[in-house]
Amino acid sequence: MFDKLDTAAARFRELEGRMADPAVIADNTLYTSLMKEYRRLEPIAAAYERYQTLKTALAETRELAITADDREMRELALEEQESLREALSATEQELKVFLLPRDPNDDRNVIVEIRAGAGGEEAALFAAVLYRMYTMYAENAGFKTARMSQNETELGGFREIVFQVEGDGAYSRFKFESGVHRVQRVPVTESQGRIQTSTVTVAVLPEAEAVDVEINPADIVMESCKSSGAGGQHINKTESAVRLTHKPTGIVVECQEERSQFKNRDKALKMLYTKLLDIKRTEQENKIAGERRTQVGTGDRSERIRTYNYPQGRMTDHRIGLTLYSLDKILNGNIGDVIDALIAADTALKMQEQA
């Protein structure tokens, strides 16, 4: 463990020096890459430095407890030892967490797909509620969001909506949202006051870059069409919407959110690359049969992960047995505590496997 920490601390110091180099600062691509690594190593280096300081202090206090001539001084040293041992143990535990195998996708942007499941219009309306919840959370967490495509219903719900979340660590915060979300409430369209159960499926995909997946341009069929749905005078006036079909896999992606056909094409390509990377990643994960058992759940879209019960004001995450009676706050974007609990549970499982 300490060999890894020494290596990480040495690399952190090296990065500090390189990032002060004018030549590196002038190279924006290199500087950005080094900055990402620097930010990742910074908390590790800080915790390791704190560990070493505590270890030195504990050794000095032990020596003082033995050699001090003053009885009161010896007693104070013994008391200080206990406090230092606790702090040292906590810091060591923190360092073990830092050294756990890291998801290489954690720093990536994400593409989130929300689709109405069972429940008809009510499911579509709840898909809109989840979209609002995620975008409000993203905004509060400092991420940027952008719609990529949508299929809206007459009542303002979504049969499907796809959007991007951009920012450092976006995937690390959103990856546990993949799965089936169940809602229990009296539908807006129901006049009898009967509670209905509906479902919405969420898929969170780490955004791909062109270098992740090779695509033969000849395998892509591009079609342009007029945008559809609510959107003012621009809708149905120009053929700015883009549909891409990847012939080898049959994957179809659409984008109509931009006025420019070129911008829609770029977004659609980004979605296509991401879907192909997801297929590749799933195939790799399936080869490692036991890996999925050590995860809280980051990819199985058929798994029912959460229930939102409106009459009781309750949200239950079934994977970790977490129940909170603060549904209004959660649906208004305050899901940070839920995400933190999922990350903690996943970390505990990984540490258990490492033990």
Q: What is the pLDDT of residues 190-249, one digit of tens each?
A: 766 788 899 999 999 988 876 677 788 888 888 876 655 544 434 444 567 888 888 888
- The pLDDT, as a whole number, for residue 255 is 83
**Domains in the chain, start-ordered, CATH in brackets?**
2-98 (1.20.58), 110-208+289-354 (3.30.70.1660), 217-286 (3.30.160.20)
333 vs 262 pLDDT, higher one: 333
- The pLDDT, as a whole number, for residue 291 is 44
- The pLDDT, as a whole number, for residue 235 is 45
**Choice among 92-101, 150-159, 172-181, 309-318 with the minimum mean pLDDT:** 92-101
- The pLDDT, as a whole number, for residue 339 is 95
CA distance linking residue 108 with residue 93, whole number of Å: 26
Instruction: Quote the mean pLDDT of the chain.
Output: 84
CB neighbours (10 Å) of residue 258?
19
- The pLDDT, as a whole number, for residue 142 is 94
Please report, as a single letter, which amino acid is at residue 274: T
- The pLDDT, as a whole number, for residue 226 is 62
- The pLDDT, as a whole number, for residue 256 is 79
Q: Model confidence over 44-88: pLDDT tens digits?
A: 999 999 999 999 999 998 888 888 778 888 888 888 888 999 999
- The pLDDT, as a whole number, for residue 187 is 83
